[in-house]
Amino acid sequence: MHTIYLNGTDYASSREVHEALKRLLDLPSYYGHNADALHDCLSERIDPIRLVIGSWGEGGAADALEKAALVVEDLGGEALRPD
């Protein structure tokens, strides 16, 4: 299982969260920076993802992290959310 760690407070926007996901998960150059594109790219992988979210952050960053967590879980991975 591939584990990645993200803290929402490190990002000011949804775009920044998706840029981090692209980098950490080595997503293709055509990655669309949204939950649907994340689902499409991750569904092509064999190994599930464990997403550890240290904090939600605010606004678009928090929204993007929640959607990413749902995508990871939908594809059989694990999302560990902050309390």
DSSP codes joined into one string, 17-38: HHHHHHHHTT--TT--SSHHHH
Output the pLDDT for position 75.
Answer: 96
Output the pLDDT for position 83.
Answer: 78
The Cα–Cα gap between 81 and 26 comes to 22
pLDDT tens figures, 9-52? 999 999 999 999 999 999 999 999 999 999 999 999 899 999 99
DSSP strand E in 1-83: where? 2-7, 49-55, 78-80
Confidence of residue 79 (pLDDT cuts 50, 70, 90): very high
pTM value is 0.92
pLDDT tens figures, 58-78? 999 999 999 999 999 999 999
3-state DSSP assignment of residue 51: strand
Q: Which domains does the chain have, with CATH numbers?
A: 2-80 (3.30.370.10)
Contact indicator for 31, 61 with CB cutoff of 8 Å: no
